[in-house]
Chain A
């Protein structure tokens, strides 16, 4: 049914990266399987001859604090994120994104690493991570390297990770606790299915308006993106009507939505603008979701 593949399930990261190096050909990585398995079962995707199952590496399911960062193992599930008080304190939009997952059985299995590495047009956790300025840690036999999630997600369903590298951690700045954040998505199935468009925003307020604003949109290009120009207009501004209107006018030129099975480019363009309008109104209010 699923084709002749060999599933390897190492207990240690070192063992896993050694396998990736030794096999030397593309390997299919299996975390919670919520994206991968439907793709394989429908015939849309064929697994490689070797499947690397992350399920036995307990360290990949850990959430811990380290210095000024909150470290999330790559196999932490959406359900675990949604229930963790420290993640909620530091990364409100990520928790809101995790709680927006379609159903309990999917949230119980879908992982943060899978949501990033699947590199969908609008992964809910991935979009939230962009707004939170998260860093990915990739492991290989050469050691580990840190890559901003923004640089990892290059669009078009691809990532900048090498075939010999395994995503092992997502790191969030704990300074996120001192800002405000928002997440919202538009999808089918009563707002609980695959996002057509999603938006995450993080802002740190200063005396002269926000001193830091990050707005991430999913579904507005071939992968989640940041609205750099809009962010520049808003930063250090008093967020009066003229500023908000200027920011809104710029949106159209900043996004390049595409047609796919989930939604159409035209619909996404309309919805993206409305989500941005919503978050600008939220930003201009003194209190937001943390």
Chain B
């Protein structure tokens, strides 16, 4: 039995059909070739499929679409677009980190790129919450994530204190 769900995905508002416990990953894969870039672990463990749902970081692979009715979904790719509809600090952090990663040749295989960089952008913009690091649970098998924390710190200073 299909139901209509209202969603805004990276600025694209509309109703989508969802059935039972269809996940957000299923929906994104159906709609967008671009996101998520990787085949998720489908157990919420790897963090590669994360997106923002009304500003809250969620694992798309285990989040039922029906629970997201009315939500604004932002993928990392969406955050990097000119028309991104998220906090300016977060958008600035996302773009700066995407440039940094590409300049340094991080994430050569691309599997974890968007999940790691979205977590890093939350940390850099101060949106992860006091004493919480979204990046700390991330793993990349191809590159050294130790390059990211100094850049996150630099961005935190550049962007100033969180409002």
Q: Does B140 contact A (CB under 8 A)?
A: no
Contact assessment for A103 and B64 in the assembled complex, using a CB-CB cutoff below 8 Å: no
A83 CA to B67 CA in the complex, in Å? 23
State A6–B66 Cα separation when bound (angstroms): 11
Q: Which residues of B contact A53 (CB under 8 A)?
A: 64, 66-67
CB of B79 within 8 Å of the partner chain: no
User: Which chain B residue shows the least CB distance to A53?
Assistant: B67
Most A C-beta atoms less than 10 A away, residue of B50, B59, B122 = B59
At the interface with chain A, which of B38-46, B82-90, B141-149? B38-46
0/1 string, A169-182, CB within 8 A of B gives 1: 00000000000000
Flag whether B62 is at the interface (Cβ < 8 A).
yes
B59–A106 contact, CB under 8 A?
yes
The residue of chain A having its C-beta at the shortest distance from the C-beta of B128 within the complex is: A104
Q: Is the beta-carbon distance between B21 and A40 smaller than 8 angstroms?
A: yes
Decide: A38 and B44 in contact? CB cutoff 8 A: yes
A61-98 CB contacts (< 8 Å) to partner B: 79, 82-83
Contact A105/B128 with A4-B20, A9-B66, A55-B67 known, Cβ cut-off 8 Å:
no
Whether B23 sits at the interface, judged by CB under 8 Å, is: yes
Alpha-carbon distance A5/B64, docked complex (angstroms): 12
State which of B6-14, B99-107, B130-138, B151-159 sits at the interface with chain A.
Answer: B130-138
- List residues of B (104-123) whose CB comes within 8 Å of A's CBs: 119, 122
User: How many contacting A-B pairs (Cβ < 8 A)?
Assistant: 97
Given A33-B62, A33-B64, answer yes or no on A105-B129 (Cβ-Cβ < 8 Å): no
Complex CA distance for A134 and B129, rounded to whole angstroms:
27
CA distance A51 to B57 in the complex (A): 24
Select one of A6, A41, A79, A189 contacting B42, CB under 8 A.
A41
What are the residues of chain A within 8 A of B42 when measuring CB–CB? 38, 41-42
Q: What residues on A are CB-neighbors of B20 within 8 Å? A: 2-7, 47, 51
Confirm or deny: A138 has a beta carbon within 8 angstroms of a beta carbon on chain B: no
Q: For the complex, give the distance between the alpha carbons of A186 and B62 in Å.
A: 25
- Which of A2, A4, A9 has most chain B Cβ within 10 Å? A2
Residue of B nearest to A82 (CB): B132
- Complex alpha-carbon distance, A108 and B53, angstroms: 11
Does A34 lie at the interface of the complex (its beta carbon under 8 Å from any beta carbon of B)?
yes
Using CB atoms, name the residue of chain A closest to B41: A38
Minimum C-beta distance from A95 to chain B (A): 11
Q: Judge if B34 is at the interface, Cβ distance under 8 Å.
A: no
In the complex, how many angstroms separate the beta carbon of A48 from the nearest chain B beta carbon?
11
Please give 20 more A-B residue pairs, beta carbons under 8 A apart, in addition to A99-B132, A105-B59, A106-B44: A1-B22, A1-B26, A3-B20, A3-B21, A5-B20, A5-B21, A7-B3, A7-B21, A9-B67, A30-B67, A37-B21, A37-B64, A41-B42, A42-B42, A83-B129, A104-B132, A108-B57, A109-B58, A109-B63, A192-B136
Q: Across the A-B interface, give the 10 residue pairs with the lowest CB-CB distance, nearest first.
A: A103-B137, A38-B43, A37-B62, A2-B21, A104-B134, A105-B59, A55-B67, A105-B57, A5-B20, A41-B42
B positions within 8 Å CB-CB of A? 1, 3, 20-23, 26, 42-45, 47, 50, 56-59, 61-64, 66-67, 119, 122, 128-134, 136-138
Binding site for B on A (CB under 8 A): 1-7, 9, 30, 33-34, 37-38, 40-42, 47, 51, 53, 55, 79, 82-83, 99, 102-106, 108-109, 189, 192-193
A-B contact pairs, 29 of them (CB 8 A): A1-B22, A2-B21, A2-B23, A7-B21, A7-B64, A30-B21, A30-B67, A37-B23, A37-B44, A37-B63, A38-B43, A38-B45, A41-B23, A41-B61, A42-B42, A47-B20, A47-B21, A51-B21, A53-B64, A55-B67, A79-B129, A82-B132, A103-B134, A104-B119, A105-B50, A105-B57, A105-B59, A109-B58, A109-B62
